[in-house]
Structure 1
């Protein structure tokens, strides 16, 4: 039986795919809602079980709908810049740390426009922080306005694969992600070279073959 509300949708192969656009092109689109999200990361010398190097901490968050995503949200480009709107969202979701740790235009990475099911543009930022700054954000996030409401908590992305070939990043990638946040995570890992390409490919393959 077809689910209510889905019977009128065109087949997947006929739906328009999101397309990469420049920042300038994105801001000139008419009738599109704009959303900005940021991947916060920091280098670390920590090791799991004193033998598995972690190398980088990458923050994502568990959303109110049970899906993983990056901090951020919708911004109104009519009265503020992308960065101003994003920083307001970060203050609500992550707390007072972003009174000083503001995302700037130099942290901008990419934009992707979609026409289906609603017109929208997602803008992606990455910002490198120190380990101390990351830990401060994690501590203060529980006092943020949206904690326990829109944000259930912050999570660290495991940038390693355990000996069983499943634990770590492969298992993490098998979770449910909101929108294009999974592709943004992969894009961030690649462009920032947080992992080698073969490590990413192996983790992706393993995540698609996990049997629960």
Structure 2
């Protein structure tokens, strides 16, 4: 990214000692979302677990397109294993969470932590994945649309582009006239781990979509995919 300053998503003091558990809307009070949700303080006691950190980079994007209301630009990427996920990755042993996340973001999408470091003010949640013995930290980072677009252009020059990262995508946040194309269809892709649930929680947390809208999208995604004339 350029030397342009990227504002923090929230202008507040934050540190690991005062991180709160996230609010989960009723439509997402399901096991795949809430399973393993723990406080950051609890995660510090799990010294035998591996650790990873990822971030949802997003920008407000009011107005419409040829296909529907844009609402926001949200960055995800196609991973080396054919699944969609958020930028970030494994932390080194003893590596600080913030330092490790900024390092991974620089490697995967060309994020410049000297211009806009990700901080604890961007923290959202922590979940335990017992099958993989992993603790997963998730951050939500707001930028401007201009800065988001600049970052998209720089992604192809990131060290891991073409290796761990095979391309970046904007999530379609509209639902088209056939009631399936757009976000409902996108949610039927294969996501790594809990990335799909994290996307939906980010939409709710940032007030990009209401709880009712998320519930409707989930219904259409799950029930309309086999209906005729959806494409």
| Match in the other structure for 1:90 | 105
| Match in the other structure for 2:38 | 21
Cα deviation 1:68-117 (Å, max 9, x = unaligned) = 00000011351x3211100000000011544422211110010001222x
Structure 1 unaligned residues grouped into runs of 5+: 1-16
- 5 Å-filtered alignment, 1:1-212, equals 18-49=35-66, 52-76=68-92, 78=94, 80-116=95-131, 118-209=132-223, 210-211=225-226
Q: What's the CA shift for 1:45?
A: 2.7
SS at match of 1:199: helix
**Aligned 8 A contact 2:102 2:111 in 1:** no
Alignment size in residue pairs: 193
Distance, in Å, in 2 between the alignment partners of 1:207 and 1:87 is 33
**Aligned 8 A contact 1:91 1:99 in 2:** no
Distance, in Å, in 2 between the alignment partners of 1:84 and 1:199 is 35
Distance, in Å, in 2 between the alignment partners of 1:122 and 1:96 is 20
Distance, in Å, in 1 between the alignment partners of 2:153 and 2:133 is 36
TM-score relative to the length of structure 1: 0.86
Moved over 6 A (4+): none
